[in-house]
Structure formats: structure tokens, C-alpha cells
């Protein structure tokens, strides 16, 4: 009976610890960015950024704030992460009657992500934001790859990469380390008009599988924080 009571108390304490102290990886990620930003002196001003296809993290690639999104060239999908209360998940473009060219009042907070797909060139503008960000830790190595199967940690260093077309046509696929049927990333790159020429801020972890197909040749470059380094 006593052993049961002790076990019950320990179980309750564990539950209490999880409720008050445990943070999910995403919450820890957001918290770390915020702490880094809070250590710096605030500097409020307007901001204007030009973005192309990629995954951008708020507080790392550009500051948190309220933005106007304007398509400057071509068209493509613009999507915010699921946690964004009033986000965006639609196509923006230039010169199409059935596609919006502008999206107003998108509020993005630290740790949110904004994904741009396709050949869209997108302008982000805010009249007043805190320009301070927590720069991405630049990791990885610069390398050129042709068709083949590559394992992160064996064939190249783990990190966040910009993937850039060198020539020809084919697919870039990244599969999860624990489940190769889990496709984390898959894009078709090509030289022709309307085909994707590159993608920024693609995270590749140790043991992830990177596949290059077709005659495609690509360049991988460690990603830098967009707002600070362009």
C-alpha cells in the first residue's frame, strides 16, 4: 500500500513538472530566439525586404511585426506556419485577374515561419518594427552536387542550406533519417522559364537522405539571416 502511494505521488510530481517546466522543441526554439533579441537594444524603423522561394523564420531572417506583402514578379504560393492565428495560405502574383498581387496586415511573431514557393518575387514592407533579430548560426559547407544519393553527416555536414540551380533539370528530395518514406522536402528545379531556380533556408539534419535526380546539378551554400546579409 505504501509503495503504491509513493508511486502515485511520484507520478503526480512528474506530471506537474511536465506541465510547468517541460517545453516542446518548437517552444524552446522560440524562447531562445526571443531571449537573444531581448538582450539587444531595440531599434524601431520601417523595413522593406525582397524574398524569393524559401522558408523564412521570423526573428531570424527578418523582424517580427505587421507586414504588407506585394508580388513584384511572377507568381507562387505563400504560406505561414500552422501556429499563426491570422496567417496566409494562398497564391500571390503579378498580372493575373484571379490572383491577388497584395496581402495586407499579416502579423508575424518570433518563431513563425513564412514559406514562399515557385518563381514569385515577394516584397515585405512594414512601417514600423523592431529591427533587432537573432542571426542564424551559419553551419554546413559549400558544395556542388550531381545526380546521386547522399547521407547528411557522411557525405556533407548538417546545416541550413540555400539550394541553387547550376544547370539542367531534375528533383531535389530530402527524406527523414528515421523514416525514408517521410519526405521532408521535394522540389523540381530547371533552367526553363517558370521553373524553380533555387530555394533558401532548407534544413538538413544528420542521417537525412538527400537525393538528386535527372541531369540536375545544384550548389548548396550555408544559409545566412536574410535581413542582415541579404
pLDDT digits (tens, 9 = 90+) for 23-52: 456 788 888 898 989 889 999 999 999 999
Residue 100 has pLDDT above 50, yes or no: yes
| CB proximity list for 170: less than 8 A, separation 6 or greater | 147, 188, 189, 190, 212, 213, 214, 215, 216
CA 92/CA 73 separation, integer angstroms: 10
Average pLDDT over residues 3-26: 50
Quote the DSSP letter at residue 134.
-
State percent of the chain over pLDDT 70. Answer: 89
Mean pLDDT of 50-69: 97
Give residue limits of the domains in the chain: 1-134, 143-229
Report the sign of the C-alpha dihedral through residues 198, 219, 207, 110, in that order.
negative
1-134 and 143-229: identical CATH topology:
yes
CATH 1.10.10, domain 1-134, yes or no: no
One CATH from 1.10.3470, 3.10.450, 2.60.120, 2.50.20 for 143-229 = 2.60.120
pLDDT given for residue 182 in this prediction: 87
Query: What cell numbers appear for 159 in the block?
Result: 546545416
Amino acid at each position: 500500500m505504501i509503495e503504491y502511494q509513493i508511486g502515485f505521488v511520484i507520478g503526480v510530481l512528474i506530471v506537474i513538472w511536465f506541465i510547468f517546466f517541460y517545453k516542446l522543441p518548437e517552444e524552446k526554439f522560440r524562447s531562445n530566439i526571443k531571449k537573444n533579441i531581448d538582450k539587444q537594444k531595440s531599434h524601431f524603423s520601417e523595413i522593406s525586404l525582397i524574398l524569393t522561394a524559401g522558408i523564412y523564420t521570423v526573428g531570424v531572417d527578418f523582424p517580427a511585426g505587421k507586414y504588407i506583402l506585394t508580388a513584384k514578379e511572377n507568381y507562387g504560393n505563400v504560406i505561414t506556419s500552422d501556429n499563426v492565428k491570422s496567417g496566409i495560405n494562398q497564391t500571390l502574383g503579378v498580372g493575373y485577374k484571379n490572383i491577388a498581387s497584395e496581402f495586407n496586415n499579416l502579423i508575424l511573431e518570433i518563431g513563425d515561419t513564412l514559406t514562399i514557393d515557385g518563381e514569385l518575387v515577394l516584397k515585405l514592407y512594414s512601417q514600423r518594427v523592431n529591427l533587432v533579430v537573432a542571426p542564424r548560426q551559419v553551419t554546413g559547407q559549400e558544395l556542388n552536387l550531381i545526380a546521386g544519393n547522399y547521407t547528411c553527416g557522411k557525405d556533407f555536414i548538417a546545416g541550413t542550406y540555400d539550394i541553387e540551380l547550376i544547370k539542367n533539370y531534375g528533383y531535389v528530395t530530402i527524406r527523414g533519417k528515421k523514416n525514408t518514406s517521410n519526405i521532408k522536402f521535394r522540389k523540381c528545379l530547371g533552367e526553363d522559364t517558370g521553373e524553380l531556380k533555387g530555394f533558401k533556408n532548407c534544413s538538413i539534419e544528420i542521417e537525412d537522405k538527400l537525393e538528386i535526380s535527372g541531369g540536375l546539378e545544384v550548389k548548396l551554400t550555408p544559409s545566412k539571416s536574410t535581413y542582415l546579409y541579404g
